[in-house]
Chains A and B, each alone.
Chain A
Amino acid sequence: MFPPQFGYRRAGSVAEAVDLLAEFSDRDARVLAGGHGLLPDLKAGREAPDVLVDVGGVDDLRYVEAEGGATAVGALTTYADVDENERLWSRATAFAEAVSHVGDVQIRNRGTVGGNLAQADPSADPPAAALVSEATLVARGPDGRRDIDAADFFEGDGGTTLRDGELLTEVRIPAVDDGSEGSGATAGGAYHKETHPASGYALVGVAAAVVVEDGDVTDARVAVNGVTDPPRRLAPVEAALDGAPADAESVEAAADRATEDIDPGAAVSDAYASGAYRVEVLPVHVRRSLETALDRATGAAATPTRPPHRPAADDGGDRR
């Protein structure tokens, strides 16, 4: 499987990448980051761009930084970088956990957060987490910077509202208002996935982020990938939880409403699983994701600081 021929240029900076994309605006030019979404598409003949503008070496776009209440993640930050970032695990747990479910060790060393979101595969893991985090996606193009709400970013069938010539540069994740200023509210997040054993992608992936105060849920955000195209928030589930006691009954009742505004006929369906199957099992995964998020918010379960496949050396795991 050889990719068809294409031109290749390497950009050393964001400005140079934007200039190169402008220079090739009359051709089918494409950004190349880690290449783990694009190269399989080229090899399989699903895509045949004329020119690739490689931003993989733009190290300025590889960072996780605290900025005000938000956490800013550079587009070129790899999945492996996210694994090691305790700030992301504690402040944006659903996002870090969703990223930790992507691929395997080798994929995770190369694939980037920005590339994943720009690829916008409906069965990818990070998009639902970007939605529940109410993240802002920052783009740079010939006209400068543009901020896009995650809710306005994904368009279905791998489409996004990024414009031609624009580069995704950053994902900004606002801190959840957990009232750490003294109100006693606590936040928790989780991502739960049913992984297809062959493709590795999510058949169903549910991200949840909740805030609990005085035993009640004061904020609940839940989104799904793998079932709807594009991935989306589940408004009926969120509404059911709003103000409800943070207990198993509320979760059960909310999960029952998971498919309320989903059209089964339009659900994602492919060789791996039918749309009907995905819709059928969605409520179970909503329940599991919410249970974990609530347990973490209430302290019934600890929020992990790194993914299970990268345990600290002294994890005390079962050795034989």
Chain B
Amino acid sequence: MYEHDITLTVNGATEELTVESRTLLVHALRDGLGYTGPNVGCESGKCGACTVHLDGDAVKSCTLLAVQADGGAVTTVEGMATADGADGPDDAADALHPIQRAFHEEHGLQCGYCTPGMVMTAAQVLEENPDPSREAIRASLKGNICRCTGYHNVVNAVESAADSLRNLDSSTEGE
């Protein structure tokens, strides 16, 4: 009752591990499995640095027990870029997800601590609403705090990512 063998599918890979009841998902991911994309900021559910997707929904992995996620599919920021093509600086940039590339191009980050969480929240938001207003982008990032950049470039990045994703969508339509 105090230790649990759980299975998580992380970025498509099946991972088995033993956790305590009290182990938080973010610690299982970082310390148990080595996915250090989700960061620990406030530890109280407010900053969003630990945001991952669980079964398709953006969640704060510091406010979830690992055992609650047993059997679930987790996507971390490591799962956003395509794995191949990372042989050099140019290829690495190509491998980035359009949202990651937009943060890079719009200077939507400084230290980058909040960025994995921002990217994961933005990904869910853009999936539901591919053409959000700036106001809607701001409202949807309410649970993600950035201590460095301020939010203007973050909003620019999400808006620019929305444009690229819509273009991608229309160019692949009918394939």
Contacts and interface: CB of A to CB of B under 8 A. Distances in A.
Interface of A: 1-10, 32, 35-36, 39-40, 42-44, 51-52, 54, 56, 80, 103-107, 109-110, 200, 308-315, 317-320
How would you classify the secondary structure of chain A's contact residues: helix, strand, loop or mixed?
A: loop
Nearest to A24: B1
Contact of B48 (A52, A106, A319): A106
B59 A106 contact: yes
Contacts of A1: 43-44
22 contacts: A3-B22, A5-B2, A6-B21, A9-B1, A10-B70, A32-B65, A35-B68, A36-B45, A39-B24, A40-B44, A43-B43, A52-B21, A105-B121, A105-B125, A106-B121, A309-B136, A311-B132, A311-B136, A313-B132, A317-B134, A319-B134, A319-B159
Contacts of A44: 44
B106 interface: no
Contacts of A319: 133-134, 159
B68 A54 contact: yes
Nearest to A44: B44
B4 A8 contact: yes
B65 A35 contact: yes
B136 A40 contact: no
Interface stretch (B74-82, B108-116, B137-145): B137-145
A41 to B, nearest CB: 11
Contacts of A311: 129, 132-133, 136
Contacts of A200: 46
B128 interface: yes
Given A5-B22, A40-B45, A110-B64, A105 B124 contact: yes
Contacts of A107: 45, 60, 143
A309 B121 CA distance: 13
B58 A314 contact: no
Contacts of A3: 22, 24
B134 A310 contact: no
B135 interface: yes
Nearest to A195: B142
B51 interface: yes
A1 B63 CA distance: 11
B94 interface: no
Contact of B1 (A7, A32, A314): A7
Contacts of B129: 310-313
A311 B134 CA distance: 12
